[in-house]
Chain A
Amino acid sequence: MTNIVVLVKQVPDTYSERKLNESDHTLDRESADAVIDEINERAVEEALKIKEAGEGEVTVLCVGPDRATDAIRKALSMGADKAVHVSDEALQGSDMVATAKVIAGALGKVDGYDLVIAGNEASDGRGGAIPAMLAEILGVPQLTHARELSLDGTTLKVDRETEDGVTHLEASLPAVVSVTEKINEPRYPSFKGIMAAKKKPVETVTVADLGVDAGELGLAGAAATVLEVAPKPPRAAGERVDDDGDGGTKVAEYLVGQKLI
């Protein structure tokens, strides 16, 4: 049986206007619609495929405020079995190092994990390093940016795709995987799945349950601090012409004027 943990993050919808709080420079969670990060649905899908191909259990792990429950329920409605939700005011403003440590601590709440699957990069912070940092803390292999994954017994093979090309990777479980957009097409939750998700167990835990040093958490504990933030002035529209058969020439003239060619 493969015990799989899927990391899920609730993010501001990329289709809505995302803002930062003026007071403490953290994410303004009220300004935008909150959704499960799209890439996480692919992570859930991959976990479900492994479960369906053999035997396994899929646990959703989410660190986030109370309202992140919506993201957790979405993952459960797709077919995940249960969830652990780390929710604690003390986490507000935590940096990536703290976040990775909290996730590592929370994995201790899952009875003997074999495989952790995450998205390769959250659409809000775009740090793209939490899965690698988690592997560092856990002391297990990272097989990240996977566009294809196969599991044979405890041997995991991954095709990693980045700007450097494709790298073929191999490691034994336990391991941490992150998936790219190309890994699969996530299923839509069925009505039955949505109803069933309401009854699935969600264990809510706080920082005190995890054995993480509280001094490293939150805004006060963060090693990386934001000094200032400023919304960029919106780009103004420049010159616009209709193509009367000389559109290309006009662009060329503009580019010459700007010393770009």
Chain B
Amino acid sequence: MAEVLVLVDHVDGEVKKSTFELLTAARSLGEASAVVVGAPGTAGKVKDALASYGAAKVYAAESDDATGYLVTPKVDALATVAGQASPAAVLVSATAEGKEVSGRLAIRLGGAVLVDAVGVNADGSVDQSIFGGAFSVKSKAAKGTPVVSVRPGAVEAEQADGAAAEETVALPAADPAKSAKVTGVEPVVGGDRPELTEASIVVSGGRGVGSAEKFDVVEKLADSLGAAVGASRAAVDSGYYPAQFQVGQTGKTVSPQLYVALGISGAIQHRAGMQTSKTIVAVNKDAEAPIFEIADFGVVGDLFAVAPQLTDEVAKRKG
């Protein structure tokens, strides 16, 4: 069975959920091999987690340069392993960095880049959802190794036993003339909330929230549901909430199990980022708001009355 390479997304020795989704998708195509790129010692920390999602092999590409330069060490590692293993496909998460890694790797391997897959099929084709979910597309690589970025949250992660046999990969030294040096990092301080694109529930606030202070009504509901917090472009542009939480055409695309829109009118720009959510609940004062056209359950009313009541109800049910 051909190997399928998975680039491991990790922070401080903790593997991101999207990686488990990639390993699950990889197993439908062949034998899942995890590629860990990081500082010396990283593979040892993440090996058990990778084994529990069916990684048969764990390639460890470790060096100090691995975290000292942007994107290229990951491309180097994947290209090196691909050279030895002739994989059936390479899977990465469709994050900002993952998309860049996949694009560069496709150039390096003479392969095909398939972007932002929402499904990976056994025949090697992928499903995509484009124009904000208005079209479903099926595509595949006509030639070369397919390098696929998979949207976080699109594939359900399933546990499986893997041997996680470790193999060391020698990373070439980074060339500063060809790579940007990382001089500092400030990780997102997300607190205890799940990451927006990985969360199974997202609660978003819009212009209707009215101010930055009042956004706590959105946060409180999110926390009761164990959800991530999002914001519409209007709310971000008004300074109510930081831009990294923007959902929409120009922000994040999310497709959680449940999306709760509070005080969001539902402009096409916003819908493009959330309309593939499984269930949509909307609360808006304006009965004509377009968000109600796509909401599975809508409440015409004041979000400052409805959301706190819902927060209490959820808390009650969770006991």
Contact = CB atoms under 8 A, between A and B. Distances in A.
Chain B binding surface SS class: mixed
Interface in B96-132: 96-97, 99-104, 106-108, 110-116, 125, 129-131
Contact of B107 (A133, A161, A250): A133
A224 B141 contact: yes
B313 A171 contact: no
Interface stretch (A63-71, A75-83, A92-100, A204-212): A92-100
B179 interface: yes
Interface string B1-30: 000000000010000000000000000000
A17 B302 CA distance: 31
Contacts, number: 279
B115 A127 contact: yes
Contacts of B317: 252, 256, 261
Interface stretch (A49-57, A105-113, A118-126): A118-126
B312 interface: yes
12 contacts: A17-B134, A129-B103, A182-B243, A222-B142, A240-B297, A241-B300, A242-B287, A248-B306, A254-B297, A255-B281, A261-B225, A261-B318
B178 to A, nearest CB: 5
Interface string A221-237: 01111111111101101
B183 A252 contact: no
Contacts of A97: 106-107, 112-113
A165 B314 CA distance: 31
Interface stretch (A1-9, A137-145, A194-202): A137-145
A260 B287 CA distance: 25
Interface of A: 14-15, 17-20, 25, 38-39, 95-97, 100, 120, 123-133, 135-137, 139-145, 157-158, 160-172, 175, 181-182, 222-232, 234-235, 237-243, 245-252, 254-256, 258, 260-261
A139 B313 contact: no
A224 to B, nearest CB: 4
A76 B318 CA distance: 59
A141 B180 contact: yes
A133, A169, A223, A230 interface centre (most CB from chain B within 10 Å):
A223
A104 to B, nearest CB: 10
B116 A252 contact: no
A169 B180 contact: yes
Nearest to B301: A243
A175 B181 CA distance: 12
Given A127-B103, A165-B185, A248-B309, A261 B314 contact: yes
A260 B257 contact: yes
Contacts of B134: 17-18, 231-232
Contacts of A168: 182-186
A136 B104 contact: yes
A240 to B, nearest CB: 4
Interface residues of B, number: 97
A258 B106 CA distance: 42
A133 B70 contact: no
B96 A128 contact: yes
A210 B229 CA distance: 47
Given A126-B115, A167-B70, A231-B134, A223 B106 contact: yes
B97 A255 contact: no
B298 interface: yes
B137 interface: yes
Nearest to A250: B299
B306 A247 contact: yes
Interface string B257-270: 11000000000110
B297 A251 contact: yes
B173 interface: no
A133 B103 contact: yes
Contacts of B184: 167-168
B310 A252 contact: yes
A95 B113 contact: yes
B179 A251 contact: no
Enumerate the 8 nearest inter-chain pairs by beta-carbon distance, A residue then B residue, closest first. A243-B301, A248-B309, A129-B103, A223-B112, A252-B313, A132-B100, A248-B310, A162-B96
Contacts of A239: 296-298
Contacts of A170: 180-181, 183
Contact of A247 (B137, B176, B197, B305): B305
Contacts of B177: 139-141, 172
